[in-house]
Amino acid sequence: MSALEIAGLVHAYGPHRVLDNLDLRIAPGEFVALIGPNGSGKTTLLRCLAGILAPQQGRVAIAGIALGEDALAAKQRLGFAVDPTLLPPLLTGRQCLELFAGARGLGGVPAATLALAGELAFDTWLDREVQSYSLGTRQKLGILLGVIGEPPLIVLDEPMNGLDPLSAFALKQYLVRLTRENGCAVLLATHALEVAERFISRCVLLLGGRLVQDWDTAALDAIRHDADNSLEQVMVEALRRFGAPRTD
Amino acid sequence: MPRHTAATTLAQMPSLFHPRLLETRRVAGNRLRLALRHWPQTVFHLVGGGVLLALVVNGVGRIDGDRIGLVLRLLSAQPLLLGLAFAGFGLAMVRSSTLTLAEELRTGWWGAMPVPAAATRRSLQLNALLLTVFGNAVVLAVLLLVVWLSRRSTSWFTPVALTASIALWLGALLGYLGARRRERLPPGARTQEHSSAAFLRLDRLDHPQLHHLPDWQRRETARRWRAGGRRWQLGGLALLIPAAMPAASLAGLSLLGIALIWYGLALRASEDSIVAADRLSAALPLPFPRFAAATLRYPLFAWSCTALLCVIGLLLQSASLTLALIVVLALGLGSLLSLSLTWRYRKRPWLARTRAVAETCLLLLLAYQLPPLAPVAALGLIARHYYVARSVR
């Protein structure tokens, strides 16, 4: 059973079709990077599969459960990092975590989440109000809220934004451990290609609302072993091949 | 050692309501703790609030309750009109609140969480119920106040209170059902937001990193207006217009009323956009004076349009040009005071609104007692808020 299965997904803002008949399947234990230029539909895709946006067409199934048919059961199998700008300013980090743990039916904030908070150097901020957090600290809380309970599918949108190098490294290590040891699948939208290249097991390129390129583990290994090549380079070549608009 | 007590309580609770309710409770607790921690400021606000309350009570005591009672007696003879007005009030209040809360639950930080649809529905119903109870209580309290101030017969009270209450509840029910129906529409069928180039170029107020802000304020205003944000006020205005009124006065009153209702909505939408823009640009090195200037661009345009319409409306009402200009300048000063409070309390917008109401009441009292001092005091307050806002991080 796939951790995530998307078939024929369509979403449009007015006349502008952002996702155009998109298909994607992610197996348990896969660490997938979703890359693409600005405006290619990465965030829209993630919001559609989190149930925040309702797609016009298509099917999203999380761990075999269709989001459109049983949203509650599907969302129980999904972890989605909270946008730092949406965090409630007057709650403390611990209160946010407790509320989310309660909503997931957990007996408390799991030890693994608190351990990750320690690795991200967030534990000193747990009992302070969100309004006193910096952007990076809010980002850490958003990530912790997304991984709480370690559900079968974890979705993160640009999680490295604003993180200091130590925290970014700890997060990458944690996500790798989660996929390898717990069998969770991780879908990570990112522009940080050097991050994606080192840690992921698969990479997909989104362009014009469709997935135009899919690099599997073997293809990524080949890129890693070629000293004259990099994911950045192959992505640029792919974008040129598929006619992405130039930003310069 | 992790503290699991609170979360254990949460997990044991049946999911009767959306966890957003627990969030509200926690926020209220934190707010209280914050007020206790900053006790000198809290004491200052309490003393200020007490003084204001004393002034209001003193002012209310001078109101001639019999005059209002007479109006209410006349209204009790028109139960359909009265009912329509209160139904409109109930409908707008509950519809707007339900739509806002539903959107927050769908797209806010709870958006991706597994919350049963029934729990969300029950929470929206509870919100509508509490709001209606509160609205009804306010209406009854105002009517009872008029009874208290009246020296003559208050036989109008029972029919007016009954009609108003029944209509308010019916309107609230319709508002809730309408909001739920709108929520179920596909996203494309909801109000569309369009952006366009600025109507007027005001380069001194523009900031390269904030050039979208005026457009954001404009779109937010348009969205709220189209969503019927002030429909109940327009309904109230229609009811206020007497049947036998000269055409020029009627046109003037309508123009004045609609312009002011729209401007109130535009100012509120602009202030909410300022708070959101400040949150989003928290990481940008923006100098405050440039930020403040950029936030003024759209409200200034909205005030110019409203001022023109108000002057025409007042002239049609046979007011002198001097009076019309004084009114629009006072409106401008009031708006600037409200905006300066938004700058100052951009991290705590609820406080900005509370203080805006309090300071406006004080300025109105001052304008009533010592008219020449009111604009000086208003400018002083604006300068003070701007000065404090510069150091807010």
pLDDT digits (tens, 9 = 90+) for B216-229: 888 899 888 887 77
Domain check: are B88 and B152 in the same one? Answer: yes
Angle between helices B321-344 and B349-369 (to 10 degrees): 150
The residue among B287 and A184 whose pLDDT is bigger is: A184
Domain check: are B168 and B126 in the same one? Answer: yes
Separation of first and last alpha carbons in chain B: 33
- Site from B5, B9, B10 to mutate, A interface, most A CB atoms within 10 angstroms: B10
Specify the pLDDT at position B235.
73
Domain final residue, candidates B142, B159, B187: B187
Does A99 contact B192 at a Cβ distance shorter than 8 Å? Answer: no
pLDDT higher than 80, residue B392:
no
pLDDT digits (tens, 9 = 90+) for B1-17: 333 334 334 444 457 89
With a cut of 50, list the residues of chain A below it in pLDDT: 247-248
pLDDT digits (tens, 9 = 90+) for A61-80: 999 999 989 999 999 999 99
Are B17 and B119 in contact by the 8 Å Cβ rule? The answer is yes
Domain final residue, candidates B187, B220, B255: B187
Tell me the percentage of chain B whose pLDDT exceeds 90.
Answer: 33
Stretch B335-362: mean pLDDT? 89
The reply to whether B354 falls in a domain is yes
Specify the pLDDT at position B243.
63
Question: Where do runs of H (alpha helix) occur along B38-116?
Answer: 39-61, 65-76, 79-107
Specify the pLDDT at position B191.
46
Task: State which residue of chain B sits closest to A87, comparing Cα positions.
Answer: B109
Cα–Cα separations (whole angstroms), residue A24 to A42, B122, B167 = 13, 36, 53
- Measured distance CA(A235)–CA(A203) in Å, rounded: 10
Specify the pLDDT at position B203.
59
pLDDT digits (tens, 9 = 90+) for B262-286: 999 999 999 999 998 888 877 677 7
Q: Which residue has the tokens 């206020």?
A: B240
Cα–Cα separations (whole angstroms), residue B198 to B194, B201, B210 = 12, 7, 13
C-beta atoms surrounding B283 within 10 Å: 13
Specify the pLDDT at position B320.
87
For residue B259, give its domain range: 204-393
The reply to whether B13 falls in a domain is no
Q: Looking at chain A from residue 106 to 165, which residues have their Cβ under 8 Å from any Cβ of chain B? A: 106-109, 111, 114, 129, 131, 135, 145, 162
Least confident of A19-28, B29-38, B186-195, B275-284: B186-195
Task: State which residue of chain B sits closest to A75, comparing Cα positions.
Answer: B114
C-beta atoms surrounding B301 within 10 Å: 19
Task: State which residue of chain B sits closest to A50, comparing Cα positions.
Answer: B112
Domain check: are B281 and B176 in the same one? Answer: no
Nearest Cα neighbor of A92 from B23, B39, B347 is B23
Return all residues near A84 (Cβ < 8 A) that are at least 6 apart.
A135, A138, A139, A141, A142, A162
β-pairing, A185-189 vs A153-157, is parallel
- Measured distance CA(A197)–CA(A188) in Å, rounded: 12
Nearest Cα neighbor of B225 from B251, B263, B276 is B263
**Domain at A1-77+153-163+183-248, CATH class:** alpha beta
The reply to whether B169 falls in a domain is yes
Residue B124's DSSP bridge partners are none
The count of structural domains within chain B is 2
In the Cβ-directed half-sphere of B256, how many Cα atoms lie within 13 Å?
Answer: 21
Specify the pLDDT at position B92.
86
Domain check: are B353 and B378 in the same one? Answer: yes
Does B4 contact A108 at a Cβ distance shorter than 8 Å? Answer: yes
Domain check: are B214 and B270 in the same one? Answer: yes
Domain check: are B124 and B211 in the same one? Answer: no
For chain A, what are the domain ranges? Answer: 1-77+153-163+183-248, 85-150
The reply to whether B55 falls in a domain is no
Task: State which residue of chain A sits closest to B108, comparing Cα positions.
Answer: A86
pLDDT digits (tens, 9 = 90+) for B294-336: 888 899 989 999 998 898 888 888 888 889 899 999 999 999 9
Are B325 and B254 in contact by the 8 Å Cβ rule? The answer is no
Does A51 contact B111 at a Cβ distance shorter than 8 Å? Answer: yes
The reply to whether B20 falls in a domain is no
Least confident of B28-32, B138-142, B190-194, B203-207: B190-194
Query: B-chain residues within 8 Å CB-CB of A129?
Result: 30, 34
